[in-house]
Structures are given as C-alpha cells and as structure tokens.
Amino acid sequence: MIKKLVTIAALAMLLGSPTRHALSASVDTLNYSPINLASWKKDFSSGRHSVRFKDARCEKGHWRVDLVNSQALPTVVYYTFWTEDSDGDSLGSTTGSMHLGSKKRDSIDMKISCDVDFTNIKISMKLI
C-alpha cells in the first residue's frame, strides 16, 4: 500500500491559494484574503485514497470540519491541527486519527477556539 505524508502549511492555503506539499515541518508566513467558510472545501489525494475537507464552522466555541470519503475504498486519516505564536512555536495541538468507510462522512472537532482566526490553523495529514 502506498503511504504519502501530505504536510499543508496552513488551512488557509486550502482556500484557493496555492498549496505546498512537503515532507518538512517548516511553515511560511503568507497573507490571505478573507474566506467564505460556507463554500470552503479542499480535496486531498494519496495513492488510491481521496478525502475532502469541507464545511468548516464554529460549534460550541471550537472549530469543526467535515471529512468526506467519496471513494469506494475505506481510508484512515491521521491528522494534527495546531496554531503557532509569532516565533513559530506551537501554542497547542490536536492529534488523532479517523477511519472513514467507503462513501462516508464524519466531523472532527479541532479543539481550537473560535477566537482563533481560521486562517491561522495549521494541519498535517496522512492518508492510508
């Protein structure tokens, strides 16, 4: 089975700005335009697996996002969400995994306060 680590500099990059795929943990500081969370979505692929992140929203004070597996194959998603201070040091993170059966949808509570601008949330994701 092919395994591919996809590190995304920031969720904001998923909003139509160019994305970067890298195996390093370095993150560039970029400026982004305001986002429309109602229409936000982004597809990720790794080998035969594909997952769509969509419907970012604030629920009960925390950011939440849906993951959709539109493939006929089940997929396991390993994820980390985090924020950084101005020096690039982590202010906290949420790490976990989720099994998405074929043609399934589920939500992830990022456990990051809605007081944090959505565009400042970073993500590292691995699909197998």
What pLDDT, on the 0 to 100 scale, is given for residue 46?
80
What pLDDT, on the 0 to 100 scale, is given for residue 33?
44
Residues 6 or more apart whose CB falls under 8 angstroms from that of 73 comprise 48, 49, 102
CATH number of this structure's domain 4-127, picked from the four choices 3.40.50, 3.10.620, 2.60.40, 2.70.98: 2.60.40
DSSP one-letter string for 64-96: EEEEEE-SSS-EEEEEEEEEE-TTS-EEEEEEE
Domain boundaries, the chain: 4-127
Tell me the pLDDT of the chain (128 aa) as tens digits.
333 333 333 333 333 333 333 222 323 333 334 566 767 777 777 888 889 889 889 999 999 999 999 899 999 999 999 999 999 999 999 999 999 999 999 999 999 999 998 888 888 888 98
What pLDDT, on the 0 to 100 scale, is given for residue 44?
72
pTM: 0.67
What pLDDT, on the 0 to 100 scale, is given for residue 26?
29
What pLDDT, on the 0 to 100 scale, is given for residue 78?
92
